[in-house]
Amino acid sequence: MKTEVSAQANVSAANVKQPQAAAGGTARILDGNALSAKLRDQLAQRAAALKAKGVTPCLAVILVGEDPASQVYVRNKVNGCEKTGIRSLKDVYPPDVDPKVVLDRIAELNADPGVHGILVQLPLPKHFNSDAVLEAISPEKDVDGFHAENVGALMQGNPRFIPCTPYGVMKMLESENVPLKGAEAVIVGRSNIVGKPMAMLLLSKSATVTVCHSQSKELAFHTRRADILVAAVGRAKMITGDMIKPGATVIDVGINRQADGKLCGDVDFESAKDVAGVITPVPGGVGPMTITMLLTNTLESAERTVK
């Protein structure tokens, strides 16, 4: 194992007015980098205030294997910590590591009062029981919000940690004052990481939520009804402009690598931008917000220790 420590009222859908596209029919771009920068400035101030009270917020990240995408995600998370004044620990294990070694390390981090957040980068190699690993993380330090106790708390409307990607999407919607109450929200994708918690969060804000998946019939029928459309599938450009309601807010969670090496989302940005009212780009949309919300959860966890 290699450990690195960083330096540091009923509303009908028809009445829910959604943001409109700018003149010329081009959607407003919801810039995740700009919003993240603003939020991270606020987080840095909160981290400094905590340090003044003698508490340095700390996130421990565990990476198993050499998956290049995972390595990039972990690097971005560690960099995000450093720039915000959050200390980070990074444990890197070879792909064939005995899962017990990782579970023992999680137990050690659970017991360490100086660690406020623990994250295991997914996916784990096939010989791991991922659920068992996620359940081994103390729910009080589960800054990804994947532990069953935290999933249950979110479901009950009393979350301790909100999963970072849907949390980031909610912040983006809030930043644009997108009306949620009574809005038709359609989520494409039902994963535990994105789709399901996204549905819970939108439901908690009184949107009418539809969740589509690989077995859904007539996907376009659903997406065309959406005031808020969240795509979280992992299929390049599968949502095209003709599948979008004019003026809708389109949130593209997908990250797909194209043949030319460039990244794209699940939404075909070129055709969607002429129909949507607001749209997130890929890259530079939901991605940076995910990391920002991870930093937020870590800080909140550290703040709880001094309250």
**Residues of the shown chain interacting with ligand NDP in the complex, contacts defined by CB under 6 A:** 165, 188-191, 193-195, 212-216, 219, 232-235, 253-256, 286-287, 290
Closer Cβ to ligand NDP, 39 or 232, answer by number: 232
Q: Which of 77, 90, 237, 245 is catalytic?
A: 77
Q: Which of 91, 142, 144, 266 is catalytic?
A: 144
For the chain, the three-class secondary structure string (H helix, E strand, C coil) is: CEEEECCCCCCCHHHCCCCCCECCCECEECCHHHHHHHHHHHHHHHHHHHHHCCCCCEEEEEEECCCHHHHHHHHHHHHHHHHHCCEEEEEEECCCCCHHHHHHHHHHHHHCCCCCEEEECCCCCCCCCHHHHHHHCCHHHCCCCCCHHHHHHHHCCCCCCCCHHHHHHHHHHHHCCCCCCCCEEEEECCCCCCHHHHHHHHHHCCCEEEEECCCCCCHHHHHCCCCEEEECCCCCCCECHHHCCCCCEEEECCCEECCCCCEECCECHHHHCCCCCEECCCCCCHHHHHHHHHHHHHHHHHHHCCC
Closer Cβ to ligand NDP, 196 or 245, answer by number: 196
Q: Which of 121, 171, 227, 268 is catalytic?
A: 121
Is 121 noted as a catalytic residue in this protein?
yes
Q: Whole-angstrom Cα distance, residue 30 to residue 206?
A: 22
C-alpha angle with apex 47: 104 to 148, nearest 5 degrees? 40
Closer Cβ to ligand NDP, 97 or 199, answer by number: 199
Instruction: Tell me the closest approach of the beta carbon of residue 191 to ligand NDP, in angstroms.
Output: 3
Instruction: Tell me the closest approach of the beta carbon of residue 158 to ligand NDP, in angstroms.
Output: 24
Closer Cβ to ligand NDP, 18 or 121, answer by number: 121
Q: Whole-angstrom Cα distance, residue 283 to residue 63?
A: 23
Is 260 noted as a catalytic residue in this protein?
no
Is 144 noted as a catalytic residue in this protein?
yes
Q: Whole-angstrom Cα distance, residue 222 to residue 219?
A: 5
Instruction: Tell me the closest approach of the beta carbon of residue 42 to ligand NDP, in angstroms.
Output: 20
Instruction: Tell me the closest approach of the beta carbon of residue 235 to ligand NDP, in angstroms.
Output: 6
Instruction: Tell me the closest approach of the beta carbon of residue 190 to ligand NDP, in angstroms.
Output: 4
Instruction: Tell me the closest approach of the beta carbon of residue 291 to ligand NDP, in angstroms.
Output: 8
Closer Cβ to ligand NDP, 150 or 182, answer by number: 150
Question: Are the C-beta atoms of residues 143 and 151 closer than 8 Å to each other?
Answer: no
Closer Cβ to ligand NDP, 255 or 275, answer by number: 255
Name the residues annotated as catalytic: 77, 121, 144
